[in-house]
Structure 1
């Protein structure tokens, strides 16, 4: 019997993997072509009137009369000499800043330049890191989400939304969380009514860590600080410094210069129990000496959402909580008034679903934090 066909069959079988390995790979599909909603925003239209937001101001930008290296820096230039280099660098992000305006435009556009070319992060999307997030008041005066930019480069000149319902209404645009802003303009069709709204007084002031800074919200309006700002209809100052919220006296020196409605101190995720013991009482006394009647809220560390299976991390949180509680009780015994406390165990919920990476909040975790903090802040603010 002729064995040639059998030999050829065997040879074909042996060469199949090699052929498959050397075959050119098909290019990855362009998802935005398959689903246009997954792409970047459309380019800004022609025939627009552009409004520079620096001409009327943004909320979340305090110490306005002090010189700044860049208009959208959170700290004035003098802070570079007193805060740590890490805090100074992080303060150049525009986290927490928000600009308000009124218009009857049926489309809204934005033109802004970013400080850094890192538009997104491995676990935080570009919409949160570098996006501009738009809200508007409905007919009942409630803030409701409209749309967010989806940036893919350092300079964005894009349509945020079009085909808006007719009406002259108030809008709020939240600036990027983990990027800085060099310039920002709002564009509306020529002939539209437009009014820039000046920043409101007596902000809620948050001092904290990467979570306060905004990690890892999908968009700037979803951080708990922004959520609470909308619920209280109040301006907010976000002094979250990723990895570097440590109750520093130098930061306290700037906190006391703000005419705050309330201070929320949420630094434990970046501190060890010994630091909590060492720094909590001095920071509260520093604030209270300058602001005798302003409410101060101390926030316990949130728990990692996987600390149920990581005993060392669970112990860290427990020890941190105990240190803050002891400091709070010491301050109460010393007669410090208008002092409030937020327990940390349920800040992300109790079902392990509130974080992106165990540590940093998802949008669900941010909403839950706002839910836990809101009643305590309402009591403190008497609202």
Structure 2
């Protein structure tokens, strides 16, 4: 849909558009049963745990694509949660991020002038006018947008773009949700989407990415290009009982997904931390390493059983170091790039 309005005045008014009303939100499940800017459909509210539902109202990975010839882009919106966290700034928890791509797939970034008040505002630009450029506006990672409008000068045009390709779906933890990127575009899922130029759906739930059946059901029913299961950081434990639980959850998830999508590549991921001799906290190292070993054993069992198109992203391939996290679990921006790069290298091996 194209919006055009021309007013010959010294200072033109702003034309404000609500992306929710236009039905142009990207990066979430294709389900008409989704309320507001949520990531999960209303139909699962009664079957997922309360924390999962609450986190599903956060907007991690949700974005809007559009073309415009405007030199400045304004956004105003409100959120329902706290603006920041002790280890993550307002710009990551509650902020926006604006990127743009050209016809050759090259990406650009537009810094924003922001004000965090009851109504949050971002002003992007001025930028060089280009009606062929496709902008991508990322929504907050750890907050819930309750209302939003995108504004351009009333003599400019804005045309929203919708993607039709099958997505990469990520089921994970706080790390997948985006903790602790300084801004939304630097969450590893969003980095990966731009690197591979493919839609990505982020089903990361802070502290609650536990390979639970209601979420696996949603993924199984969504035709996908790749499915990533990155839940080990929320399944940590060193007891034999926990090792058995990890194996049971992984086996159930993979077999259900394989039955629904026989040819879709599935990636099982190690805990991104651990195996680091330069970390002095032996307790965390041991915990993360034993969790990874339990996941690896389950992966090998599935491979021996003949499960096809099953891949493994190793801790060593991610290679987080002592400069990569804020707390030896949640990556900073540098760690986010490392994670995205590792996934990109792996996925490009089988999506050629």
Q: TM-score, normalised by structure 1?
A: 0.83
Aligned mates of 1:170, 1:225 — CA distance in 2: 19
Aligned mates of 1:125, 1:306 — CA distance in 2: 29
Structure 1 contact 104–167 (Cα < 8 Å) conserved: yes
**Residues 223 and 306 (structure 1 numbering): CA distance in 2 closer, same or farther, change over 3 Å?**
farther
After superposition, residues 1-383 of structure 1 pair within 5 angstroms as 47-54=13-20, 55-66=22-33, 68=34, 70-116=35-81, 118-138=82-102, 140-148=104-112, 150-159=114-123, 161-168=124-131, 169-272=133-236, 273-274=242-243, 275-303=245-273, 308-350=279-321, 352-380=322-350, 382-383=351-352
Structure 1 contact 148–219 (Cα < 8 Å) conserved: no
Alignment-derived partner of residue 15 in structure 1? none
Aligned mates of 1:364, 1:291 — CA distance in 2: 34
**Per-residue CA shift, 1:110-156, capped at 9, x if unaligned?**
0212122x111111110100111000114643122112463422422
**Residues 373 and 49 (structure 1 numbering): CA distance in 2 closer, same or farther, change over 3 Å?**
same
Aligned mates of 1:149, 1:197 — CA distance in 2: 24
* Number of residue pairs matched by the alignment: 333
- Give the secondary structure class of the aligned counterpart of 2:114: coil
Which runs of 5 or more structure 2 residues have no equivalent in the other structure?
Answer: 1-10, 237-241
Stretches (4+) displaced over 6 A: none
Aligned mates of 2:235, 2:199 — CA distance in 1: 28
**Residues 346 and 242 (structure 1 numbering): CA distance in 2 closer, same or farther, change over 3 Å?**
same
Structure 1 contact 96–174 (Cα < 8 Å) conserved: yes
- Give the secondary structure class of the aligned counterpart of 2:105: coil
Instruction: Give 1 or 2 for the bigger CA radius of gyration.
Output: 1
**Per-residue CA shift, 1:5-43, capped at 9, x if unaligned?**
xxxxxxxxxxxxxxxxxxxxxxxxxxxxxxxxxxxxxxx
Aligned mates of 1:103, 1:306 — CA distance in 2: 50
Alignment-derived partner of residue 7 in structure 2? none
**Residues 293 and 308 (structure 1 numbering): CA distance in 2 closer, same or farther, change over 3 Å?**
same
Aligned mates of 1:300, 1:130 — CA distance in 2: 29
Which runs of 5 or more structure 1 residues have no equivalent in the other structure?
Answer: 1-44
- Give the secondary structure class of the aligned counterpart of 1:150: strand
Structure 1 contact 307–313 (Cα < 8 Å) conserved: no
Structure 1 contact 61–72 (Cα < 8 Å) conserved: no
**Per-residue CA shift, 1:144-181, capped at 9, x if unaligned?**
2112463422422442x222112212100000000011
Instruction: Using the TM superposition, give the Cα deviation of residue 218 of structure 1 relative to its aligned residue in structure 2, in angstroms.
Output: 0.3
Aligned mates of 1:154, 1:74 — CA distance in 2: 23
Of the structure 1 ranges 92-101 and 370-379, higher mean CA displacement relative to structure 2 is found in 370-379
Structure 1 contact 348–354 (Cα < 8 Å) conserved: no
